[in-house]
Chains A and B, each alone.
Chain A
Amino acid sequence: MLKDKGQVTFEDKWPAMRPIVLKLLKQETVTQTEWQDLFGSVHSVCLWDERGPYKLRDALQQDIMMYIKQAQNRVLAQREDQALLKAYIAEWGKFFTQCNYLPTPFRQLENSINNVSKVSSSNTSSTQKKNNNNNIEDSLVRKLMLDSWNQSIFMDIKQRLQDSAMKLVQAERNGESFDSQLVIGVRESYVNLCSNSVDKLQIYRENFEAAYMQATEEFYKLKASEQLLANGVQSYMKYADQRLKEEEARAHRYLEPGSGSVAALTQCCEKVLIGEHLPTLLAESAPLIKAGETEKLQLMFRLLDRVPEGVTPILRDLEAHIVSAGLADMVASADIITSDSEKYVERLLDLFKRFSSLAKDAFLDDPRFLTARDKAYKCVVNDTTVFKLELPSSALIRGSKGTAPESKCPELLANYCDMLLRKTPLSKRLTSEQIESRLRDVLLVLKYIENKDVFMRYHKAHLTRRLILDSSADSEKEEDMVEWLREVGMPADYVNKLARMFQDIKVSEDLNTQFRTDTTRHDAINIKILNAGAWARGSERVTVSLPLELEDYIPEVEEFYKKKHSGRKLQWYHHMSNGTITFANSVGRFDLDVTTFQMAVLFAWNQRPMEKISYENLRLATELPDPELRRTLWSLVAFPKLKRQLLCHEPVVQNPKDFTENTTFWVNQEFALVKNGKPQRRGKINLIGRLQLSTERSQIEDNHSIVQLRILRTQEAIIKILKMRKRITNTALQSELVEILKNMFLPSKKMIKEQLEWLIEHKYMRRDDEDINTFIYMA
C-alpha cells in the first residue's frame, strides 16, 4: 500500500467530486452511489494527499461562494419588499437545509484539519476525542457555509432586508395586514446564521433586534407627540396603555423568545410613550386627584409606575391634596367641630375613609400610596389651624421655656371616647357593637396623633370621673378599652396605671361594704378610698369647709380605716365627692344630685332659709377658693337644663366672673322642675354635669403637668440611652430619643436641647472635650 502514497491527489479526485457538491448545494437529487463516492473521495484525499484537506476546503469554499453569489442575484432581482423578503427566506431556507447535509461527507476532512492543528498545538487526546465526537453545530464545513453566507449575501442586503421587514411591522402598526411569516422568517435567518457558539444571538441582536427597536422608537416618537397634541393627556393615556399592550404582544410574535428582547422592547416603548412625556402627563395628576377621577388615576398609576420615578410626583400630589382638602374641610366646619367632639371625630374619620378609598380605588392600596396617605393624614390630625391649645410656658417648671401650640385633637378624641363609655344619650342610643366599632375608630385616629400624652391625660381624667361617679355605661367595655390601648402601643406604664384604677375601685368597693356592715347607722354614706399613686398623683386638692351634716362622718371613716390599715394617711378629695340632697320648698320636694361643693353652698341656707347671703359671706361659710365658688354658684343660678333655677342672685350678671363681693344670693322658693310647661311637685335632677373633677385650676395644672411630665420623660430617656451607650453623638442621641418617646409625644429640638443642658449642668453627663457634639455618661 505504501507505494500508493502520493499517488492519489486532490487534483485527481476533485473533478469527480465537484458535480456532486454542486448538486448538493443546489438541492438537486444525488444518487446513493454519488453520495457514497463523495465519502470515499474525501477519505482518499485526506489519507493520501498531504495538502489535500486544505485544497479541498478551499475548493469547497469557492463553490459555496459561487452558489451564494447566484442566490444573491436571484434575491436582488426582486425589487419589491415583500417579494425580496420572500425570495431571501426561500434561498436561505434551502441553503440552511444544506448546512445540515453537506458537512456530513466532509467529516473526515474536518478531522484531518483539526487533528493537524490540535497535534501541532500539542493538545491532549481528550480534546481530540471531543472534536471527533463533533456534532453538526461545531462542524467546520457548516461554519464555512454560514460564515460565507454572512459575509457575502447578508452583508450586502441585510440593510434592505431589515428595512423591508420593519416596513412590514410598521404597516401592521398602521392597521394593514400582511404575511407575518415574512418577518418571522427574517428573524429566524438572523438567529440561525450565527456561527458564534458563545453568543448565538449576536447577529440577531446586533441587527434585527436593534433595527426593530429603532423602528419602534422612531414610530412612537412621532405618534406620541401627535396624539398628545391632538387629543390631550387623558385620551393619550388610553392610547399609550393600549399601544403598550399591543407592542408587547407584537414583540412576542416577532422577537426571539428567551432572548430578553421583549423586555427590552417594552422598556423602549415605555420610555418613548411615557418617560419622555412625563412632565406633561404628571401635570394632570393633581387635577385628577382633586376631582377624584379614580378610574383615570388608576390608568395613570399603571402607566407611570412603568417608568423610573414616574410615581413619586403622584405621591406628592396625593399627599398635598389630602393635607389641603383635609384642612379645608376642617376649617369649613370649624364652628361645629371645635365645640362638639363627636362631630369632630366623625369628621376626621370621614376624611380618613374618604382618603383611604381614594388610595384604594385609584392606587389599588399600593403601599407607597398608603404611606403617603398616612403621612398627610397625620398632618391633618395634628394641625393647629382649627384650634390651638396653648401649653403654658412656665418658669416654675425646671428646664422649660414654653412650648409651641398644639392640636386639640387628642383632647377631643378623649372626650368622644368618654361619651361612648359614659352613660350618655349617645351611648344609650348605640348598640354594644356600634360602641365597640366607634372605639376602634378612636384608636385608629389615635395612631396618627403626635401628642399621645395629651390624650392619655384626658382619657385618664375622664376615666377617673366615670369611676368615681359610677357613670360608666359598660364596665366590660371599659376594661376592653384598656387592653385595646395596650394593643395599639400606648406606653405600658400608662396602661398599667389605668388597669390599676379598675383594680383599686374593686378594692374600695369591698372596703365600703365592710364599713357599712361595721357601722350600722350610715346608710347615707358611701366611701371610696383610693390609692393616691394610681389616681391623684400631682393633682392638688381643693379645700372646703364641710357642712356639719357631712363633717360628722369624717372621724368615723378615719377611725374605721385606721383599724384596717396601718402606715397610711388619708386625704379627703372633696372636689371628687358628691351626693344627693332633698330640697323642700313651698312648691314641693326635690332630690338633687350635687357635688360636695354645691352641697356646701346650699347648706349655708339651712340656718337662715329666707335670707339673702352675699358672695363674701358664702365664701366665708364654705372657704372655697374664689374660682371654685364662682363656678359652683354659677351652676346653681344658671343651670342650662332648668327653667326655674335653684338660686336667685342680684344684681343679675351674665358671667360668673362678674359676681362681686356684694352680689347677693337667695334660695328660689318658687323652684320647681318643669315638665310640659307645668311645674312639678316632685322630681329629681342631676346638677353635677361636667363640674366634677374639672376645676379650672386643675385644667391649668393638667397642662402644666403635661409639660412637666414631658421634661421628666425626656430626661429619663436621655439617661437611659447614655447609660446604655456610654458615649453617643448628638445626632444618634436625637434619633434614639425620638424612637423611645414617639408613643407619647414628639419631643421638640428645643426641649431636647434644654434638657441636655440641664443634665450637663447637673453632672449627669458631659460633652466630650474633643468634640462638643458627643456626650459622655457620668455615672
Chain B
Amino acid sequence: MSGEDCDAFDRGDNDGQKPDKMFTLKKWNAVAMWSWDVECDTCAICRVQVMDACLRCQGESKKDSYGKQDCVVVWGECNHSFHFCCMSLWVKQNNRCPLCQQEWSIQRMGK
C-alpha cells in the first residue's frame, strides 16, 4: 500500500471551535437495491426472473438499450405478477391468470 490516500494537511480552519461530538458525519453514501415487490421471482409466462427484462425485450434490446427499465411488472387482482409484456400477449389468448385461472384484471402496474 502506498500513502496516496493519506493526505495530511494543516490549515487553520475552525481551529479553536470544538465540535460537540467526537465523531460527526460529513457525508454518507447510502446504497439500496430495489426490486419488484412480488411473491414469485420468476415470470410464469416466460420463465425469466421478473427483475430481468422478459425474453422478448431481451431479444429486441440486445446491444443498444439494455438496462432500460421499460419491461415493467404487472399485478393482477389475484396478486400474481408477471412481466407486463408477457401478460399483455397472454390475455389476447386467454383472459385468465396463468397461475390461478381467475379472470385477469390488473390491480396495479410497476413503475
A579: chain B residues at CB < 8 Å are: 25-29
* Complex CA–CA separation, A603 to B27 (angstroms): 14
* Complex CA–CA separation, A767 to B21 (angstroms): 72
Task: Using CB atoms, name the residue of chain B closest to A554.
Answer: B30
Q: Are B26 and A569 in contact (CB under 8 A)?
A: no
B92: chain A residues at CB < 8 Å are: none
**Min distance, Cβ B33 to any Cβ of chain A, angstroms:** 4
A640: chain B residues at CB < 8 Å are: 1
Asked if B7 is an interface residue, CB under 8 A from chain A, the answer is: yes
Q: Are A641 and B26 in contact (CB under 8 A)?
A: no
Partner of A680, one of B10, B14, B69: B10
* Complex CA–CA separation, A483 to B18 (angstroms): 52
Q: Are B22 and A609 in contact (CB under 8 A)?
A: yes
B25: chain A residues at CB < 8 Å are: 524, 549-550, 579, 581, 599
Q: Are A567 and B36 in contact (CB under 8 A)?
A: yes
Asked if A667 is an interface residue, CB under 8 A from chain B, the answer is: yes
From 14 to 39 in chain B, residues with beta carbon under 8 angstroms from any chain A beta carbon are 14-15, 18-19, 21-37
Given A533-B52, A683-B9, CB of A550 within 8 Å of CB of B28:
yes
Q: Are A503 and B33 in contact (CB under 8 A)?
A: no
Asked if B5 is an interface residue, CB under 8 A from chain A, the answer is: yes
Q: Are A578 and B22 in contact (CB under 8 A)?
A: no
Q: Are B26 and A524 in contact (CB under 8 A)?
A: yes
Tally of contact residues, A, Cβ under 8 A: 76
Task: Using CB atoms, name the residue of chain A closest to B68.
Answer: A503
From 83 to 111 in chain B, residues with beta carbon under 8 angstroms from any chain A beta carbon are 108-111
Q: Are A567 and B31 in contact (CB under 8 A)?
A: no
* Complex CA–CA separation, A580 to B5 (angstroms): 13
Q: Are B35 and A572 in contact (CB under 8 A)?
A: no
Q: Are B22 and A567 in contact (CB under 8 A)?
A: no
Partner of A582, one of B19, B30, B33, B36: B19
**Min distance, Cβ A258 to any Cβ of chain B, angstroms:** 59
Q: Are A589 and B14 in contact (CB under 8 A)?
A: yes
From 49 to 75 in chain B, residues with beta carbon under 8 angstroms from any chain A beta carbon are 49, 51-52, 58, 66-69, 72-73, 75
Majority-rule SS of A interface residues: mixed
Given A566-B110, A682-B8, CB of A527 within 8 Å of CB of B26:
no
Q: Are B10 and A577 in contact (CB under 8 A)?
A: no
A674: chain B residues at CB < 8 Å are: 8
Q: Are B23 and A583 in contact (CB under 8 A)?
A: yes
Given A568-B37, A584-B22, CB of A557 within 8 Å of CB of B9:
no
**Min distance, Cβ B48 to any Cβ of chain A, angstroms:** 10
B33: chain A residues at CB < 8 Å are: 529-532, 535-536, 570-571, 573
B29: chain A residues at CB < 8 Å are: 468, 525-528, 577-579
Q: Are B9 and A565 in contact (CB under 8 A)?
A: no
From 465 to 523 in chain A, residues with beta carbon under 8 angstroms from any chain B beta carbon are 468, 496, 499-504, 507
Q: Are A680 and B37 in contact (CB under 8 A)?
A: no
Q: Are B36 and A581 in contact (CB under 8 A)?
A: no
**Min distance, Cβ B27 to any Cβ of chain A, angstroms:** 4
Asked if A686 is an interface residue, CB under 8 A from chain B, the answer is: yes
Q: Are A606 and B27 in contact (CB under 8 A)?
A: no
Given A524-B28, A533-B49, CB of A602 within 8 Å of CB of B10:
no
* Complex CA–CA separation, A527 to B34 (angstroms): 12
Given A567-B109, A569-B35, A667-B22, CB of A673 within 8 Å of CB of B6:
yes
- Inter-chain pairs besides A524-B28, A577-B31, A641-B6, 16 sampled, C-beta below 8 Å: A504-B67, A507-B67, A507-B69, A526-B29, A527-B30, A533-B49, A549-B24, A567-B111, A568-B110, A569-B36, A574-B30, A578-B28, A589-B19, A606-B23, A609-B22, A684-B8
A–B complex contacts, Cβ < 8 Å, 21 sampled: A503-B67, A529-B31, A530-B33, A532-B33, A532-B34, A535-B33, A553-B30, A567-B111, A569-B35, A569-B36, A570-B32, A579-B25, A580-B27, A582-B26, A589-B19, A599-B28, A682-B9, A683-B6, A683-B7, A684-B7, A685-B5
